[in-house]
Amino acid sequence: MKGFNFHSVKNVKEAKKLASGKSAFLAGGMTTIPAMKLRLASYSDIIDIKNIKDLSGIKVSSKSLKIGATTKHAEVAASKEVKKAISSLAHLADGIGDPQVRNRGTIGGSIANNDPAADYPAACLALNAIIHTSDRKIVSDKFFKGMFETALKKGELIQAVEFQVPDKSCYVKFPNPASRYAIVGVYVAKYKKEVNVAVTGVESAVFRCKKIESALKSNFSSSAIDGVKISSSGFNSDIHASSDYRAHLIKVLAKKAVAGCK
Amino acid sequence: MQKVSLEINGKKVSREIEDHTLLSTLLRDILSLTGTHIGCDTSQCGACVVHVDGKSVKSCTLFAADIHGSKVTTIEGLANNGKMHPMQEAFKKLHGLQCGFCTPGMVMSAVDLLKNNKKPSDQEIRDWLEGNICRCTGYQNIVAAVKEAASKM
């Protein structure tokens, strides 16, 4: 790995001041550090944000669940508040990577990285999340731009992710047996007036499957998905799964998610 | 350079290190605590698992500077006055290792499991050890050893 200057900061102002085109914010480092070790990424400055107090923690209201950017996956998975408000989100956090990754990795890091097969981006899209940053609030539909790309500008720091509490929801993924990343993951969330179906692992970035959404809007049941046709055009295809197989899995997992909604 | 102070296996340690020094590098190359192994070096195999402030983490994916002021326990810190930890005893008794390369990580990870789950089921043990790979594929005896240790702790 190439050398860099390590900075530990105490507040957002300090973090922003140090940020440049050649810096990276470090929370859990579960993606940043492997990428640096493989020399896929190198930075002149690493800005450690985990000691910024306000960035960690879970707040629940009747309509929303707000999770601080440096809150670890293990904390979300074990949180009684999260389990009560959106149990599918706690379940999702419990299925990320392995226990050691969950002890370090953070929600802010996961969505800032926007890995095409990451779990949290699917939760953001399905649960109408608002991304609170140091500069503004961004709705999820405008946040995830493409492979490893987000709407974040240089030096813009995610502070919290605010999820809208659904009537019921469920996340089901077909994990890669080695990494536990989603080969395909489908997050279904039902609200009073809408149904959101977010799919991860399939394209260059997470997306909402409008066809399944409209099928479920009129009839919220697994069987409503049977007639939906999913084209595999543009889907990821690799040694783990062909694009056709991924297209097939979307429907299988969406049906499971609808059946598992609570 | 960064000055990093840690408490490692109960002893206070301070070193001037390069900013990009990984915890695994500090332990093995600088402090000669070679019980912590490097297998894949890409945070998948779990041979490098140690405890930082009581929680199991992969030391190959952690900057030492990032945990300044923390308490670290490595495999060398488990034995007490020359007596093996019950987890180590159980791995020995039930042949929970073949080549032994993954064992330090397996043991450290399993000790963390039992902190929060005193009587884990086979499935819970297997789920927890998801991040620890044994290429001898000796998982049956590893799971048996963790259960044995749970009954003794």
Q: Which domains does chain A have, with CATH numbers?
A: 1-51 (3.30.43.10), 168-260 (3.30.390.50)
The owner of tokens 């927890």 is B128
Predicted confidence at residue B153, as pLDDT, reads: 87
Contact B20 A38 (CB under 8 A): no
A-chain residues within 8 Å CB-CB of B108? none
Helix, coil or strand: residue B59:
helix
Instruction: Tell me the pLDDT of chain A (262 aa) as tens digits.
Output: 899 999 999 999 999 999 999 999 999 999 999 999 999 999 999 999 999 989 999 999 989 999 999 999 999 999 999 999 999 999 999 999 999 999 999 999 999 999 999 999 999 999 999 999 999 999 999 999 999 999 999 999 999 999 999 999 999 999 998 888 999 999 999 999 999 999 999 999 999 999 999 999 999 999 999 999 999 999 999 999 999 999 999 999 999 999 999 9
> What's the CATH class of domain B86-152?
mainly alpha
> Which residues 126-185 in chain A show a CB within 8 A of chain B?
178-180
Residues A35, B70, B54: CA angle, nearest 5 degrees = 90
Got the DSSP string for A48-80? E-TT-GGGS-EEE-SSEEEEETT-BHHHHHH-H
Edge-to-edge strand ranges of the sheet holding A23-26: A5-8, A45-48, A23-26
For the stretch B11-62, pLDDT in tens is: 999 999 999 999 999 999 999 999 999 999 888 999 999 999 999 999 999 9
pLDDT (average), residues B103-131: 96
Q: How far apart are CA B47 and CA B39, in angstroms?
A: 6
β-strands A149-150, A144-146: how paired? antiparallel
Predicted confidence at residue A177, as pLDDT, reads: 84
Q: Which residue of A has its CA nearest to B17?
A: A6
> Which residues 37-56 in chain B show a CB within 8 A of chain A?
41-44, 46, 49, 55-56
The owner of tokens 């030492």 is B64
- The residue ranges of every structural domain in chain B are 2-75, 86-152
> Which residues 216-235 in chain A show a CB within 8 A of chain B?
none
> What ipTM was predicted for this assembly?
0.95
Q: How far apart are CA A27 and CA A193, in angstroms?
A: 36
For the stretch B66-102, pLDDT in tens is: 999 999 999 999 999 999 999 999 999 999 999 999 9
Contact B20 A48 (CB under 8 A): no
For residue A211, count CB atoms less than 10 angstroms from its CB and return exposed for 0-12, middle for 13-18, buried for 19 or more.
middle
Superfamily of domain covering B2-75: Beta-grasp domain (3.10.20.30)
Contact A1 B19 (CB under 8 A): no
